[in-house]
């Protein structure tokens, strides 16, 4: 059974039909990427999975169970963490406090346990350990992105939804970030990755889908997508 299945999912913002019948699946342990131009519906797909945008038709199954009418905070508890575009870390809190907030949906946990889990995050993101007491606002874009991912991982997700993690980051930082995404999967977390940087996304993914104005057009392995004329023309130009 796939960890995540979308069947004919439609979502709308008022009169704007953002998703027009998306069907996809993510198997446990995979990194799957969702490619597409600005406005194609990539963020809306993630928002629909995490319950932030209402699904008007079709269904989403997680671990075989429908997510319909489940509130976003309960969806986090089921094991889906969403790291939205733009990071949204707390500027007035320290790095450590920002990380710890990620565990808050899991109820009251012994302080020692949370401290131990923060240490695990520092092993994945060594820069954050050095910056433990720094305030959120003082971090660079790449550091903020790492922090947003670390915070997401503190909910102990089975599935991590990452929205444009490479946006605005220098190429060397993007390389680091993608190496980290691979290591996160190595720890057993499944990843659904939205990216405009198609080359980078396909370098870590097991499979990918292409989204064009609310519809999926192509699905395949990175090799298949890299070889696809439509994908090459639209997404692999300079990236």
Under the rule (CB under 6 A), what is the footprint of ligand ATP? 13, 16, 18, 36, 38-44
* 61: exposed, middle or buried (Cβ count in 10 Å: 0-12, 13-18, 19+): middle
Q: Least distance in Å: CB of 13 to ligand ATP?
A: 3
Q: Least distance in Å: CB of 77 to ligand ATP?
A: 25
Contact by Cβ (8 Å): 43, 63: no
Q: Quote the Cα angle for 201-77-87, to 5°.
A: 40
Q: Least distance in Å: CB of 134 to ligand ATP?
A: 29
Which residue's structure tokens are 């996809």? 24
Q: 171-186 and 141-153 are packed helices; what angle lies between their axes, rounded to 10 degrees?
A: 10
- Other CB atoms within 10 Å distance of the CB of residue 96: 19
Q: Least distance in Å: CB of 41 to ligand ATP?
A: 4
**Around 177, how many Cα atoms within 13 Å sit in the side-chain half-sphere?**
28
Over the range 6-40, which residues count as b (16 or more CB within 10 Å of their CB) and which as e?
beebbbbeeeeebbbebebbbeeebbbbbbbeeeb
Choose between 41 and 51: whose C-beta lies nearer to ligand ATP: 41
Q: Least distance in Å: CB of 171 to ligand ATP?
A: 19
Choose between 13 and 137: whose C-beta lies nearer to ligand ATP: 13
Choose between 134 and 234: whose C-beta lies nearer to ligand ATP: 234
Contact by Cβ (8 Å): 192, 34: yes
- Is residue 233 classed as helix, strand or coil in its secondary structure? helix
How far is 226 from 164, CA to CA, in rounded Å? 19
Choose between 117 and 163: whose C-beta lies nearer to ligand ATP: 163
Q: Least distance in Å: CB of 107 to ligand ATP?
A: 31
Choose between 129 and 215: whose C-beta lies nearer to ligand ATP: 215
């Amino acid at each position: 059974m796939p960890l995540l299945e979308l069947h004919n999912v439609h979502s709308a913002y008022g009169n704007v039909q953002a998703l027009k019948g998306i069907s996809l699946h993510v198997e446990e342990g995979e990194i799957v990427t969702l490619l597409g131009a600005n406005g194609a519906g990539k963020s809306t797909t993630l928002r629909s999975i995490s319950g932030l945008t209402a699904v008007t038709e079709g269904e989403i199954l997680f671990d075989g169970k429908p997510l319909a009418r489940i509130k976003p905070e309960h969806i986090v508890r089921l094991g889906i963490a969403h790291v939205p575009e733009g990071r949204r870390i707390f500027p007035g809190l320290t790095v450590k406090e920002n990380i710890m907030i990620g565990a808050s949906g899991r109820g009251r946990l012994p302080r020692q346990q949370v401290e131990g889990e923060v240490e695990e995050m520092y092993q994945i993101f060594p820069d954050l350990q050095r910056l433990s007491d720094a305030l959120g606002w003082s971090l660079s874009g790449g550091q903020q992105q790492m922090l947003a991912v670390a915070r997401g991982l503190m909910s102990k997700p089975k599935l991590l939804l990452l929205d444009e993690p490479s946006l605005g980051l220098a190429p060397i930082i993007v390389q680091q970030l993608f190496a980290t995404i691979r290591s996160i999967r190595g720890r057993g977390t499944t990843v659904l990755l939205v990216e405009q940087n198609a080359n980078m996304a396909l370098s870590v993914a097991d499979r990918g889908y292409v989204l064009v104005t609310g519809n999926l057009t192509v699905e395949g392995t990175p090799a298949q997508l890299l070889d696809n004329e439509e994908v090459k023309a639209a997404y692999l130009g300079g990236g």
